[in-house]
Structure 1
Amino acid sequence: MERVTADYYIETPYPLEKAAATLAGEQSSGTFVSVPGETEELKTRFAARVEAIEELDTVDRPSIPSEKLSFDSYRRAKVRVSWSIENFGYNLPTMVSTLQGNLYELTQFTGLKLMDIEVPDSFRSQYRGPAFGVEGCRKLTGAYDRPLIGTIIKPSVGLSPSDTADLVKVLVEAGIDFIKDDELLSSSANSPFAERVSAIMAVINEHAERTGKKIMYAFNVSDEMDQMMRNYDAVVEAGGTCAMISLNSVGLAGAKKICDLGQLAIHGHRNGWGMMNRHPLLGIEFPAYQKLWRLAGVDQIHVNGIANKFWESDDSVTRSMEACSKPLLGGYSVLPVVSSGQWGGQAFETYRRVPTVDLLYMAGGGIMAHPGGPSGGVKALQQAWLAAVGGQSLEEAAKAYPEFGASVEKFGGKLG
């Protein structure tokens, strides 16, 4: 019988074999005490198995304090556990409840993080994955052989539909590939969703008819399920190509429902990521996280950015980008979205660390606050990536390209 496998990073004051067995039992057929119905036959078929334990280091203080535990040492280890597919079938929410669920509350652990998961090939027959992915997003935007260049509407909240459309017009004329709503905005008092879609798509459609290039705008459709479906339909009817969902807010089932519609590329925003990942021994690592959303069908997913404005390290961002590039079930392509305090200066280190142009590179202030305005900001990002991929240094590019040179003068002190 096929099995789903999960890798964990754990910390415990107990013997590792005992702690791992508790993990496996709690998340399958067992509980804190033997019960009459848990026969050997049942356990053989449904009990989780501890496949491997790799002991790491020992520390004298727990990573997560517990009033119930007081020991002199706490062991850390990598643990691999597997479950029969029979336990949850192809039910993603129940699979997540199994792989994570109550584990974080078990007394036996002073640290536990889900690092990665592997699903059997049969998932391909149940989940089609991203409908567009990298190549589909390139086709929709007409952007090939380079990163897609994008931005976020700023101010995040407060602009009217007509104000937003005016800004979109400037960005569209500047040659941008992608624009998105901020995750804080779906439908506000002065910017009702349907009115904003209508105003923005009038600009985008007119530009497409005139030039042949259709900008991808990710409208934030996140809402209650029925309204989210209505929002999605409004984007389709207006001729849009993309919808944004706040992944952690709408959940796996909500995201999959939207992805299954298949008419729009889905931009997955991971706001709330820090509460799942910021602690080194609690939550979920991005390699596991992004696989769940790829199975649900998300086409684009945020990975943060090099020298970002948040807490995440460059090494962590690199691992996230690399995770997106690894095939899942032989394909399931997803476009990594590099963002957070970005401007053209980070393109060089981004490309050095992950030498690919299969990404969406987004800058908010890096475009909007450019000395030459949004038009200069878009050109500066395009120039930065042309230089980075072409082997030029930041200093050489600043001398060669006026718009990028101006952005170095404006933002250079924020690099690194």
Structure 2
Amino acid sequence: MPINTNASPRPSTTDGRIRATYWVETPFPLEAAVAVLAGEQSCGTFARLPGETDQLREAAGAVVERITPLDMADSPSLPIRPLPSKLGANPTFQRAEIEVSWPFDNLGASLPNLLATVAGNLFELREISGLRLLDLQLPPSFAQRYQGPQFGIQGTRKLLGIEGRPLIGTIIKPSVGLNPKETAALVKQLVDAGIDFIKDDELQANGPHSPLRARVDAIMPVLKEHEQRTGRKVMYAFNITDELDVMLQNHDYVQAAGGNCIMVTVAAVGLPALVWLRKHSQLAIHGHRAGWGMLSRSPYIGMDYRAYQQFWRLAGVDHLHVNGLRNKFSEDDASVIRSAQACVRPMFDAPTPGCEVMPVFSSGQTAEQVADTYKALGSTDLIYCCGGGIMAHPGGVPGGVLSLREAWEAAVQGADLDTYAQSHPALAQAIAAFRA
């Protein structure tokens, strides 16, 4: 495959090509290994074939736009087959950042085929001892075919009538085990305490102990009564993850009951199902990223969130989980913030809309992480979900919700958290309870 040695580091997508940036590691000569990768993911194979003319390769072949050598390693980052003797007894493993582009006509504006192209067989190549998809740049044709988010950040705010601050949210816990009546009782506590957003756990969808429709029937009267009494709407993300026909039916049930949000575990339902759900949906779609760790935990294989979130944004989610600072999982804080920033980064050259979605912070979050979150992100356009940070607050659920509001007030005002807490008891209790 051809290698373009004069490409700019961040080329425009106005040329109509699909571009992907990778981190790569190989014991083979770098340019040769990268050329194999480009060939495998376009018109080439391990041997030149009779039909693989120069004209065909010129028209359909992937182009290696850039190779930026990085560091070297003494051993492979991933298991590999025995190396050929020509590489010597102790080969070094060259690492690099590369950019590869494909003609749009190879696949068209198709998310499933995009995934097969930029994250397909290349991860299995014997020449590669480490590979990670870092980023994508797509032609505007993808935005023209796919609807993207229906509500996104501003639409979600409009549904709830909330401006100028984050949505304070929580997750129904225990994850599973509560029946619909018990769930509704917990929802009543949360809405009375002033919560903005509630979601089902990703493990709670439509099980026999808490069927989705029974849960809707129990919860929606609580939300409606609260709105009639206070004038405040609360968003509840009902987890409808299931087979496509069941999801569509359950979407309609939630909508008919007066709901405003549904939730899907995006990797579990897949791109085509989510695209179809988005075409059908009249509700905000809350995207949960369960399974993301399989793609992200190793730095030597998988996918960066910069690339991952583009698929689901185009498919039509309105909110996407990004983890949280000092979380209970393995992801570091810098990665969390990059993920949140990616959710609001424009995907296409102006004037094409950027499909921005609302990042959802969760996982071990309390009032303690608020100031750092705001400082790093520089925005309140997010959902800040806390489980234990609300439920385990010394002042109960009302104290937990209030402590989060107070922490965000302090952060936005630029006030020192401890100083602000001196005149805000709920925040002071949260600091005492949750500070490590």
Secondary structure class of the residue paired with 2:264: strand
Q: Which residue number corresponds to residue 381 of structure 1?
A: 404
Task: Report the Cα distance in structure 1 between the residues aligned to 2:270 and 2:156, rounded to whole angstroms.
Answer: 23
- The alpha-carbon deviation at position 341 of structure 1 amounts to 0.3
Secondary structure class of the residue paired with 2:19: strand
Task: Report the Cα distance in structure 2 between the residues aligned to 1:93 and 1:36, rounded to whole angstroms.
Answer: 29
Q: 2:138·2:347 contact (CA, 8 Å) conserved in 1?
A: no
Does residue 194 (structure 1) correspond to residue 213 (structure 2)? The answer is yes
For 1:343, which of 366, 377, 382 is the aligned residue?
366
Task: Report the Cα distance in structure 2 between the residues aligned to 1:376 and 1:276, rounded to whole angstroms.
Answer: 37
Task: Report the Cα distance in structure 1 between the residues aligned to 2:283 and 2:196, rounded to whole angstroms.
Answer: 16
Paired AA for residue 349 in structure 1: D
Give matches, 1:28-177, under 5 Å.
28-69=42-83, 71-177=90-196
Q: 2:367·2:427 contact (CA, 8 Å) conserved in 1?
A: yes
- The alpha-carbon deviation at position 104 of structure 1 amounts to 1.0
Secondary structure class of the residue paired with 1:312: coil
- The alpha-carbon deviation at position 248 of structure 1 amounts to 1.1
Task: Report the Cα distance in structure 2 between the residues aligned to 1:226 and 1:297, rounded to whole angstroms.
Answer: 18
Does residue 4 (structure 1) correspond to residue 27 (structure 2)? The answer is no
The share of aligned pairs that are identical, in percent, is 52
Paired AA for residue 101 in structure 1: G
Task: Report the Cα distance in structure 2 between the residues aligned to 1:372 and 1:111, rounded to whole angstroms.
Answer: 49
Does residue 215 (structure 1) correspond to residue 229 (structure 2)? The answer is no
Task: Report the Cα distance in structure 2 between the residues aligned to 1:235 and 1:56, rounded to whole angstroms.
Answer: 51
| Gap runs ≥5 in structure 1 | none
Give matches, 1:389-404, under 5 Å.
389-404=412-427
Deviates more, 1:123-132 or 1:277-286: 123-132
Q: Which residue number corresponds to residue 205 of structure 1?
A: 224
Does residue 410 (structure 1) correspond to residue 430 (structure 2)? The answer is no
Secondary structure class of the residue paired with 1:346: helix
- The alpha-carbon deviation at position 328 of structure 1 amounts to 2.1
Task: Report the Cα distance in structure 2 between the residues aligned to 1:120 and 1:68, rounded to whole angstroms.
Answer: 40
Secondary structure class of the residue paired with 2:195: coil
Deviation string for 1:111-162 (max 9, x for gaps)? 0000000001222221221110000010111211001100000001011101
Secondary structure class of the residue paired with 1:400: coil
Q: 2:25·2:129 contact (CA, 8 Å) conserved in 1?
A: yes
Q: Which residue number corresponds to residue 353 of structure 1?
A: 376
| Gap runs ≥5 in structure 2 | 1-14, 84-88
Deviation string for 1:168-203 (max 9, x for gaps)? 011111111100000001012221110001111111
Task: Report the Cα distance in structure 1 between the residues aligned to 2:420 and 2:32, rounded to whole angstroms.
Answer: 58
Secondary structure class of the residue paired with 2:198: strand
Q: Which residue number corresponds to residue 233 of structure 1?
A: 252
Deviates more, 1:92-101 or 1:385-394: 385-394
Q: Which residue number corresponds to residue 30 of structure 2?
A: 16
Task: Report the Cα distance in structure 2 between the residues aligned to 1:236 and 1:254, rounded to whole angstroms.
Answer: 19
Secondary structure class of the residue paired with 1:45: helix
- The alpha-carbon deviation at position 90 of structure 1 amounts to 1.3
Task: Report the Cα distance in structure 1 between the residues aligned to 2:279 and 2:427, rounded to whole angstroms.
Answer: 40
Q: Which residue number corresponds to residue 270 of structure 1?
A: 289
Task: Report the Cα distance in structure 2 between the residues aligned to 1:54 and 1:3, rounded to whole angstroms.
Answer: 20
Deviation string for 1:249-270 (max 9, x for gaps)? 1111111111222401111100
Task: Report the Cα distance in structure 1 between the residues aligned to 2:123 and 2:423, rounded to whole angstroms.
Answer: 53
- The alpha-carbon deviation at position 71 of structure 1 amounts to 4.2
Paired AA for residue 58 in structure 2: T
Q: CA RMSD in A?
A: 1.1
- The alpha-carbon deviation at position 294 of structure 1 amounts to 0.8
TM-score by length of 1: 0.97
Paired AA for residue 174 in structure 1: A
Q: 1:57·1:76 contact (CA, 8 Å) conserved in 2?
A: yes
Task: Report the Cα distance in structure 2 between the residues aligned to 1:157 and 1:121, rounded to whole angstroms.
Answer: 42
Secondary structure class of the residue paired with 2:270: helix
Secondary structure class of the residue paired with 1:356: coil
Deviation string for 1:320-348 (max 9, x for gaps)? 11112212233212000011100011001
- The alpha-carbon deviation at position 100 of structure 1 amounts to 0.8
